[in-house]
Structure 1
Amino acid sequence: MNTKTDRLVRTLRLRHLELLVALAETPTMRGAAARLHLSQPAISKMLGELESCFGARLFERSHQGIHANALGTSAAFRARAVLHELARATADVDAMQSGITAVLRVGAPSVTAAVPAAIVKLRERLPGAAVQLREGRVHELIHRLLEGELDCVFGAITPELISSDLIPLLEPVVLLKDELCVLASVSNPGVNARRLQWADLRAAQWGLPPKETLVRQAFMTVFLNSGVTPPVPVIEAMSSVTIGTLLRKDPSMLCAVRLEHALDEVARGGVQRLKVGPQVVLPSFGLFFRRDGMARPAILMEFANAIRTVSGAIAPKR
């Protein structure tokens, strides 16, 4: 620990960290004071102590209020992670006192075949483990991982993620191939066992996600590459639950989804995956940890092993 860090540890209080976060999220001193139930003079004094400890100006003051500069934004990000880690430590101790042996917090999309299967495997290996699953968009979940709310995130390596500054902060532990899949009802009258080409399906009744999604863009591209105008969906829906229900309610429908969604729907029954060529590769799915140099708890490594195991078991037959 260097001299400056040592001084921070000895001088800063948790209240200082709370102030860092509050000022980064609140545009006025009055708002931060109300949030922390302190007077404005007390807030000003603590802010002076903060900047003195860091040896740098963290916030810019103006008639419009106060806002974090680049240094303050970075410091607030780290402070938020520390506070989240403390909150998790408290929750973990409470859980373990009630008989839980370890707690794992996982971020994942709402539809995934691998994560539920891996959780079952993990619980077989560590029966006393508790898993808290947080669902959402991968970019949002990655931020929650970096802020200390989550232990790991399972999600797609999207163009948005690649173009961000987050990749160097992440440690990809498991990477799984992904591809565009076509789903149909098992009672679809127009489906047979032969291998289809994308162009064969241009006149089908399609249910598709919106145009801004990776799946829809890949769907449109494969038809264009085949020299065919991409079909216009008769139903456009983002919800995976809606897509699955459509297929089961209307046997004439086809839906384009990514592999994780396809495996999940097929496992639920009543739906089949069609053999359509050529294969359309999508960005890989991955299991990500924070790249923080810390020792990994056993439950985290066991979950990574479980993801590897089940992803091999559920991989599509080529």
Structure 2
Amino acid sequence: MDATTGRLVRKLRLRHLELLAVLAEADTMRSASAQLHLSQPAISKMLGEIETCFGARLFERSHQGIQPNALGAGAVFHARAVLNQLTRATEDVGAMQQGAQAVLRVGAPSVTATVPSAIARLRARMPGAVVQIREGRVQELIQRLLTGELDCVYGAVTPELLTADITPLLEPVAMLQDELCVLASTPPRGTSRARSRLRWRDLGNAPWLLPPKDTLVRQAFMTAFLNDGATPPVPVIEAISSVTIGALMRQDASLLCAVRQEHARDEIARGGVHRLDIVPKVPLPSFGLFFRRDGMERPAVLLAFAEAVRAAAAPRRARGRKA
């Protein structure tokens, strides 16, 4: 610990960190004082103590209120991370007092076959582990990972994630290749399951269920047809909800659907649909399991989950090599 950090540890209290987080949301001293049940002079004094410790002005005051500057935004981010870690420590101790071996908080998309399989493997290895799954978009989940709300995130490596400033803060620990898949409940008209492989252009007249045009899957679907010398078909149904897609596929046997491999594995496991073998294969951005790059020792449950994700992905890799 360097001298500056040591000074912060000695001078700052958790109440100071709470004030930073509240001020960033409150916009005014009055609102912050009401939330913290402190007088405005007390709030002003505490903020002065914080800025003295950091040796910099963190908030800009005006008649309109108070806003964090660039330095303040960084301090607020780390204050929230510390407070989240404290909340987690309290919850973990409480859970372990109730008999839990460990607590793991995982961020993941709402449709994934890998994460449930990995959790089942983890629970077989560590029956006392408690797992909390938080679902959402990968960018939102990554932010929650960086602020200490989550232990890891499993999600697609989107172009937005690759170009974000936060990428150096992430540690990828498992990367899984992904590709565009086509699902059907019955063989398309004019084809047979016995037929070894289809081309994209063979399915131009089929009734398609597709996600909207602004999605990565839809764009890859259109590119697949163009690269195969065919005009991309217009879908008869557009939907993005996995629940809706699954229900439609099982109730309308004429439909074909383009989805990510992660979604395809989940639907196939539920039964009633199968994957068509179509060439050429169309790769999509990989899925990855990410930790925070914080230099801290990883708890055993987190390392065990990473191994479980790799093991759950092993059959997929084997099928890919065989293909």
Equivalent residue letter for 1:10: R
Q: How does 1:31-50 map to 2 (within 5 A)?
A: 31-50=31-50
Give the conservation status (yes or no) of the 8 Å contact 2:250–2:272.
yes
What is the CA distance between 1:190 and its match in structure 2?
5.0
What is the CA distance between 1:31 and its match in structure 2?
1.8
1:199 aligned residue: 201
Taking structure 2 as the reference length, the TM-score comes to: 0.96
In 2: Cα distance, 1:198 partner to 1:285 partner: 24
In 2: Cα distance, 1:98 partner to 1:191 partner: 57
- The one of 282, 287, 290 equivalent to 1:288 is 290
1:162 and 2:145 correspond: no
Deviations 1:53-94 (A, max 9, x none): 110000111122111111100010001000000000000000
Q: CA RMSD in A?
A: 1.2
Q: How does 1:1-318 map to 2 (within 5 A)?
A: 1-186=1-186, 191-193=191-193, 194=195, 195-315=197-317, 316=319, 318=323
In 1: Cα distance, 2:175 partner to 2:222 partner: 25
Equivalent residue letter for 1:26: A
In 2: Cα distance, 1:134 partner to 1:186 partner: 34
In 1: Cα distance, 2:191 partner to 2:267 partner: 17
Instruction: Give the total of aligned pairs.
Output: 318
In 2: Cα distance, 1:237 partner to 1:266 partner: 18
In 2: Cα distance, 1:251 partner to 1:134 partner: 33
In 1: Cα distance, 2:139 partner to 2:39 partner: 37
In 2: Cα distance, 1:288 partner to 1:153 partner: 5
In 1: Cα distance, 2:77 partner to 2:133 partner: 23
In 2: Cα distance, 1:235 partner to 1:27 partner: 45
Equivalent residue letter for 1:89: A
Taking structure 1 as the reference length, the TM-score comes to: 0.97
Structure 1, unmatched stretches of 5+, are: none
What is the CA distance between 1:191 and its match in structure 2?
4.6
What is the CA distance between 1:188 and its match in structure 2?
5.5
In 1: Cα distance, 2:40 partner to 2:61 partner: 14
Equivalent residue letter for 1:290: R
Q: 3-state SS of the aligned residue for 1:52? A: helix
Which segment drifts farther, 187-196 or 228-237? Answer: 187-196
Equivalent residue letter for 2:210: L
Give the conservation status (yes or no) of the 8 Å contact 1:205–1:252.
yes
Give the conservation status (yes or no) of the 8 Å contact 1:186–1:270.
no
In 1: Cα distance, 2:72 partner to 2:282 partner: 44
Which segment drifts farther, 151-160 or 230-239? Answer: 230-239
Q: 3-state SS of the aligned residue for 2:100? A: coil
Deviations 1:31-65 (A, max 9, x none): 22222222211111111011011100001111221
Which segment drifts farther, 285-294 or 3-12? Answer: 3-12
Deviations 1:145-200 (A, max 9, x none): 00000000000100110111111000000000000000011465555222111111
Equivalent residue letter for 1:250: D
Structure 2, unmatched stretches of 5+, are: none
In 1: Cα distance, 2:187 partner to 2:35 partner: 58
In 2: Cα distance, 1:212 partner to 1:47 partner: 44
Q: 3-state SS of the aligned residue for 1:204? A: coil
Equivalent residue letter for 1:251: A
In 1: Cα distance, 2:275 partner to 2:20 partner: 51
Give the conservation status (yes or no) of the 8 Å contact 2:188–2:206.
no
In 1: Cα distance, 2:2 partner to 2:187 partner: 68
Q: 3-state SS of the aligned residue for 2:74? A: helix
Give the conservation status (yes or no) of the 8 Å contact 1:21–1:76.
yes
In 2: Cα distance, 1:185 partner to 1:249 partner: 9
Which segment drifts farther, 1-10 or 72-81? Answer: 1-10
